[in-house]
């Protein structure tokens, strides 16, 4: 198990097609999810929730997206439909991170969205620390209100990401990271 800065320095995404079984068992998953929701949360609003896609549910969700794609774009290619159908099948587990925005709160919407984004990032870190691979993806279904309805989202909710979790099936080289010197500046008055 990794910890501290080593975890942050070594974490990288594993492409969903490279994620296979096993997924975390129920006890490990519960521990992972409990850790993932320990995020900054201005106002203690808990502006997020999680949806598990696993087993047959992943295929059913993909089929519903195919039907939605066909309804919206009757001339859509078979290749794009197949991509929609198979998108959630690779990793044995997909956690949908949902932002549940309290529009009446004094906390700005962006802070609530960022809190939910931290949950998705914690899932990536936690999965890596447990020896699993993960990838945070969005795609059109994350931004489509009809796809949100398929997931049972309320009007004040939006998908922050689909976090695919499983066991890496191959070694994945880390990508080149940006140089800190190009990112950091010091403000002076």
According to the annotation, is 100 in a ligand binding site? no
- Is residue 71 domain-resident? no
Report yes or no: 24 and 98 within 8 Å, Cβ to Cβ. Answer: no
Confidence of residue 173 (pLDDT cuts 50, 70, 90): confident
The yes-or-no verdict on residue 142 having pLDDT over 90 is yes
CA distances from 107 to 42, 98, 103, 114, 144 (A): 7, 17, 9, 11, 25
According to the annotation, is 11 in a ligand binding site? yes
- Is residue 3 domain-resident? no
According to the annotation, is 13 in a ligand binding site? yes
Residue 113 is predicted with a pLDDT of 98
Structural domain of residue 24, as residue ranges? 15-54+91-168
Q: Which of 73, 90, 77 is nearest to 137 (CA)?
A: 90
DSSP line for 59-115? HHHHHHHHHHHHHH-TT--HHHHHHHHHTTTSSSEEEEEEEE--TTSSS-HHHHHHH
Report yes or no: 47 and 112 within 8 Å, Cβ to Cβ. Answer: yes
**Full-prediction pTM beyond 0.85?**
yes
Number of domains, the chain: 1
- Is residue 97 domain-resident? yes
Q: What CATH number has the domain bearing residue 132?
A: 3.40.109.10
Residue 122 is predicted with a pLDDT of 98
According to the annotation, is 128 in a ligand binding site? no
- Is residue 101 domain-resident? yes
According to the annotation, is 38 in a ligand binding site? yes
Q: Stretch 29-58: mean pLDDT, rounded?
A: 98
- Is residue 130 domain-resident? yes
pLDDT digits (tens, 9 = 90+) for 61-107: 999 999 999 999 999 999 999 999 999 999 999 999 999 999 999 99
CA distance 119 to 103: 20
According to the annotation, is 137 in a ligand binding site? yes
Confidence of residue 2 (pLDDT cuts 50, 70, 90): low
According to the annotation, is 30 in a ligand binding site? no
Report yes or no: 126 and 35 within 8 Å, Cβ to Cβ. Answer: yes
- Is residue 76 domain-resident? no
């Amino acid at each position: 198990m990794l910890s501290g800065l080593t975890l942050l320095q070594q974490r990288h995404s594993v492409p969903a097609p490279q994620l296979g079984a096993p997924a975390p068992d129920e006890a490990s998953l519960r521990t992972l999810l409990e850790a993932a929701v320990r995020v900054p949360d201005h106002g203690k609003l808990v502006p997020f929730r999680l949806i598990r896609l696993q087993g047959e549910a992943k295929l059913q969700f993909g089929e519903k997206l195919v039907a939605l794609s066909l309804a919206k774009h009757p001339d859509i290619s078979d290749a794009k439909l197949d991509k929609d159908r198979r998108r959630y099948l690779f990793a044995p587990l997909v956690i949908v991170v949902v932002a549940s925005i309290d529009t009446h709160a004094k906390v700005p919407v962006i802070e609530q969205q960022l809190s939910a984004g931290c949950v998705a990032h914690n899932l990536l870190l936690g999965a890596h620390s447990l020896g699993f691979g993960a990838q945070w993806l969005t795609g059109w279904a994350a931004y489509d209100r009809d796809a949100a309805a398929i997931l049972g989202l309320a009007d004040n909710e939006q998908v922050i990401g689909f976090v695919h979790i499983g066991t890496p099936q191959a070694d994945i080289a880390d990508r080149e990271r940006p140089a800190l010197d190009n990112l950091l500046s010091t403000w002076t008055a």
